[in-house]
């Protein structure tokens, strides 16, 4: 190439050819290869401060931390601008926005021609998964956003570990990202599973722009997982140690902003701590799950950091998240205390005297607006989490004893129920629903079905996805974990939460562990198996609330089952008949009860 004097820092010819080809149409002024070093990070942060994108925080209380604001129109994932690009619409299925791969590819090429003019293009090699794990995978993100580079540095293993893992292989995920003009009308988040390509344009926000996360680790990876016989899921991973020193790992799927981070970092109540219970964190958002040689499922966390929701995070609700985010952390769209030079958000604690809100204006409580955006985030290294599990970087992953599904359900769903078997568990996951949150653009607080909390992230046809989950039952020698459904968000008629949540959620895990260890009884209901009782020692909850939480209303469930039937019908012709059969069995059980 004549126009760019690209010094190729990779020894991989396929990488170099692709970077050169992209630079030709993106037309950056400068190309900078990211090596992942501290010196490189220091220089980039200095540049981000000079340009006003980063405000350094208090070096005593928040060393190495920065406050940042996005464009006010660019604060969440944009599901209606997110596309799965395949030859046939049927491959993307009824839950995705589809575009023809050839058409979208050509369109993005045209739209993005020259978009990096006058800018630096950073070449970010990144590894998803622990160093040395055969389950880890390599991607490259070409981006003109130093903000993205600094976030990727926390969220993935960037630079050398990725180049080392790739070696001379050519199967890296090819990602192109440009801030463009941030024009929401021309915002595109495109996935090309067949060629392992990701293109995102006109957004600088988390899930749209940090391509390792939802784009690669969920949408592209889920497509590959199906072909290769594993699972890429929107799940936290936690370990629980019992007083008799047994340890169990769980994966749990909740939609965005439903408390995955809090659950993954749960601090048990004092009585539980005294008795020797311990919770440790492997990951808070994504799990890649493979079948081990012993037939058990093993999970790795493909990420290296947390991209957690700030509002509501406090010493009381999640001290581990706060501790993780007290150094080397980027705060995006929180409020800023200009006196203490600290971030602030609703729910953190007392409101400081002076505040700048997430839009950049002086703010006071009388204004009636929120100081921090409801989807404001902290990007923090997972290694800084006090509860991080010793096995969080284990190349083999951690063996799973249980899989948990859950959502925000003010009614219908009990605190916990156990699936009757794998098929029923898959059905519970596929039909799970939740009240929407601020993590995605759109209305907040309306009930939507969200299969396995993967609705925005399944990279292929949801019917094939259900079939893939079901197929695990037939794998030779498989030892499947139990499947549970939980609901921390049950309310009474006045909207009061019946369950205290947070640390007290360990009581539900305790019951699950007892089930797994064969030590707890259940009540069989039409909906699934419920606890006879859960431990209430030291729990502040009334008998009647507990009774509501641990029972089902047949009347409510009959309409729930009918709504599930209607939902299954929207999932298209590839949905396995087994899912309709589960629905029919549920209705039969309810009618017999």
Residues catalogued as catalytic: 258
Q: How many residues in the shown chain lie near Mn ion by CB under 5 A?
A: 2
Q: In angstroms, what is the minimal distance from the CB of 70 to ligand SAT?
A: 11
Considering only residues 27, 151, 204, 256, which one is a binding residue for Mn ion as defined by CB under 5 A? Answer: 256
Is 292 buried (19+), middle (13-18) or exposed (0-12) by CB count in 10 A?
middle
Concatenating the DSSP letter of every residue in 357-393 gives -TTSSEE-GGG-S-SS-TT-EEEEEGGG-TTB-TTTT
Counting contacts by CB under 5 A, is residue 222 touching Mn ion?
no
* Residue 143 CB partners (closer than 8 Å, separation 6+): 121, 122, 124, 149, 176, 177, 178, 209
Considering only residues 139, 159, 193, 207, which one is a binding residue for ligand SAT as defined by CB under 6 A? Answer: 207
Q: From 1-9, 124-132, 252-260, 396-404, give the range in contact with Mn ion by CB under 5 A.
A: 252-260
Concatenating the DSSP letter of every residue in 266-298 gives ----HHHHHTT-EEEEEESS-EEEEE-TTSBEE
- Token pair in block for residue 320: 């581990």
Q: From 124-132, 205-213, 494-502, 515-523, give the range in contact with ligand SAT by CB under 6 A.
A: 205-213
Counting contacts by CB under 5 A, is residue 204 touching Mn ion?
no
439 binds, among ligand SAT, Mn ion, none (CB under 5 to 8 A by kind): ligand SAT
Considering only residues 125, 129, 206, 239, which one is a binding residue for ligand SAT as defined by CB under 6 A? Answer: 206
Cβ-closest residue to ligand SAT? 207
Residue whose structure tokens are 């020894």 = 11
Q: In angstroms, what is the minimal distance from the CB of 460 to Mn ion?
A: 19
Counting contacts by CB under 6 A, is residue 77 touching ligand SAT?
yes
Q: What is the CA radius of gyration of the chain?
A: 24
Q: In angstroms, what is the minimal distance from the CB of 369 to ligand SAT?
A: 22
Q: From 184-192, 207-215, 319-327, 340-348, give the range in contact with ligand SAT by CB under 6 A.
A: 207-215
Q: From 101-109, 253-261, 375-383, 465-473, give the range in contact with Mn ion by CB under 5 A.
A: 253-261
Binding mask 360-379 for Mn ion (x = CB under 5 A): --------------------
582 binds, among ligand SAT, Mn ion, none (CB under 5 to 8 A by kind): none
Contact present, 230 and 136 (Cβ < 8 Å)? no
Considering only residues 81, 153, 157, 213, which one is a binding residue for ligand SAT as defined by CB under 6 A? Answer: 213
- Token pair in block for residue 583: 């629905």
- Closer to ligand SAT by Cβ: residue 210 or 470: 210
- Token pair in block for residue 89: 């619409």
* Residue 447 CB partners (closer than 8 Å, separation 6+): 409, 433, 434, 435, 436
Considering only residues 388, 439, 466, 561, which one is a binding residue for ligand SAT as defined by CB under 6 A? Answer: 439
Counting contacts by CB under 6 A, is residue 407 touching ligand SAT?
no
- Closer to ligand SAT by Cβ: residue 214 or 278: 214
d(CA 101, CA 588): 44
Q: What is the 3-state secondary structure (H, E, C) of 184-199?
A: HHHCEEEEEHHHCEEE
Q: In angstroms, what is the minimal distance from the CB of 84 to Mn ion?
A: 18
Phi, psi of 222 (to 5 degrees): -65, -35
Q: How many residues in the shown chain lie near ligand SAT by CB under 6 A?
A: 8
- Token pair in block for residue 565: 């039937």
Task: Calculate the CA dihedral of residues 405, 406, 411, 416 and round it to 10 degrees.
Answer: 60
- Closer to ligand SAT by Cβ: residue 216 or 336: 216
- Closer to Mn ion by Cβ: residue 115 or 154: 154
- Closer to ligand SAT by Cβ: residue 261 or 431: 261
41 binds, among ligand SAT, Mn ion, none (CB under 5 to 8 A by kind): none
Counting contacts by CB under 6 A, is residue 307 touching ligand SAT?
yes
Q: In angstroms, what is the minimal distance from the CB of 427 to ligand SAT?
A: 24
d(CA 178, CA 593): 57
Q: In angstroms, what is the minimal distance from the CB of 68 to ligand SAT?
A: 14
Counting every residue written for the chain, the total comes to 593
* Residue 244 CB partners (closer than 8 Å, separation 6+): none
Contact present, 345 and 310 (Cβ < 8 Å)? yes
213 binds, among ligand SAT, Mn ion, none (CB under 5 to 8 A by kind): ligand SAT
Strand ranges (DSSP E) for 101-182? 120-128, 137-143, 157-158, 173-178
d(CA 124, CA 565): 45
233 binds, among ligand SAT, Mn ion, none (CB under 5 to 8 A by kind): none
Considering only residues 40, 285, 303, 450, which one is a binding residue for Mn ion as defined by CB under 5 A? Answer: 285
Q: In angstroms, what is the minimal distance from the CB of 54 to Mn ion?
A: 24
370: left (phi over 0), alpha (psi -120 to 50) or beta: beta
Residue whose structure tokens are 């070696």 = 167
Counting contacts by CB under 6 A, is residue 214 touching ligand SAT?
yes
d(CA 167, CA 147): 27
**At 237, is the secondary structure helix, strand, or coil?**
strand
Site of interaction with Mn ion (CB under 5 A):
256, 285
Site of interaction with ligand SAT (CB under 6 A):
77, 206-207, 213-214, 256, 307, 439
């Amino acid at each position: 190439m004549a126009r760019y004097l690209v010094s190729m820092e990779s020894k991989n010819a396929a990488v170099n050819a692709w970077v050169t080809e992209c630079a030709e149409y993106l037309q950056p002024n400068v190309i900078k290869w990211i090596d992942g070093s501290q010196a490189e990070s220091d220089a980039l942060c200095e540049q981000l401060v000079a340009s006003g994108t980063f405000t350094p925080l208090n070096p005593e209380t928040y060393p190495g931390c920065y406050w940042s604001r996005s464009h006010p129109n660019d604060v969440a994932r944009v599901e209606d601008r997110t596309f799965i690009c395949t030859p046939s619409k049927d491959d993307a299925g009824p839950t995705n926005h589809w575009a023809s791969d050839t058409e979208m590819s050509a369109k993005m090429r045209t739209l993005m021609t020259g978009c990096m003019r006058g800018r630096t293009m950073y070449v970010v090699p990144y590894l998803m998964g622990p160093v040395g794990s055969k389950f880890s995978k390599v991607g490259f993100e070409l981006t003109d956003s130093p903000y993205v580079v600094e976030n990727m540095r926390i969220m993935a293993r960037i630079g050398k570990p990725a180049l080392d893992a790739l070696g001379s292989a050519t199967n890296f995920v090819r990602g192109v990202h440009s801030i463009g003009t941030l024009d929401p009308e021309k915002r595109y988040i495109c996935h090309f599973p067949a060629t392992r390509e990701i293109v995102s344009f006109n957004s600088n926000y988390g899930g749209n722009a940090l391509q390792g996360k939802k784009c690669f680790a969920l949408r592209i990876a889920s497509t590959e997982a199906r072909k290769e016989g594993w699972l890429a899921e929107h799940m936290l991973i936690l370990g629980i140690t019992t007083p008799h020193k047994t340890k169990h790992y769980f994966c749990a799927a909740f939609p965005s902003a439903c408390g995955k981070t809090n659950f993954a970092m749960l601090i048990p109540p004092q009585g539980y701590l005294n008795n020797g219970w311990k919770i440790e964190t492997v990951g808070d958002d994504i799990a890649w799950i493979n079948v081990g040689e012993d037939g058990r499922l093993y999970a790795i966390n493909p990420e290296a950091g947390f991209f957690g929701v700030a509002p509501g995070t406090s010493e009381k609700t999640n001290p581990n998240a706060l501790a993780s985010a007290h150094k080397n952390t980027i705060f995006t769209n929180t409020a800023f205390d200009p006196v203490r030079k600290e971030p602030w958000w609703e729910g953190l604690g007392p409101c400081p005297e002076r505040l700048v809100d997430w839009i950049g204006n002086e703010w006071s409580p009388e204004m009636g607006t929120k100081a921090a955006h409801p989807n404001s985030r902290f990007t923090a290294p997972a290694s800084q989490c006090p509860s991080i599990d010793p096995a969080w970087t284990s190349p083999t992953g951690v063996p799973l004893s249980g899989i948990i599904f859950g959502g925000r359900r003010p009614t219908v769903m009990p605190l916990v129920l156990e699936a009757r078997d794998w098929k029923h568990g898959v059905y519970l996951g596929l039909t799970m629903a939740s009240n929407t949150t601020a993590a995605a653009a759109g209305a907040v607080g309306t009930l939507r079905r969200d299969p396995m909390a993967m609705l925005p992230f399944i990279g292929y046809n949801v019917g094939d996805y259900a079939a893939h989950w079901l197929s695990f039952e037939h794998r030779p020698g498989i030892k499947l974990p139990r499947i549970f459904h939980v609901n921390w968000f049950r309310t009474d008629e006045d909207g009061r939460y019946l369950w205290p949540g947070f640390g007290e959620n360990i009581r539900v895990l305790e019951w699950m562990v007892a089930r797994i260890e064969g030590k707890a009884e259940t009540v069989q209901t039409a909906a699934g198996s419920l606890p006879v009782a859960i431990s209430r020692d030291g729990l502040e909850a009334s008998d009647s609330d507990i009774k509501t939480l641990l029972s089902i209303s047949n009347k409510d469930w009959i309409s729930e089952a009918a709504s599930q039937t209607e939902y299954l019908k929207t999932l298209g012709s590839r949905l396995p008949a087994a899912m309709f059969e589960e629905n029919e069995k549920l209705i039969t059980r309810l009618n017999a009860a």
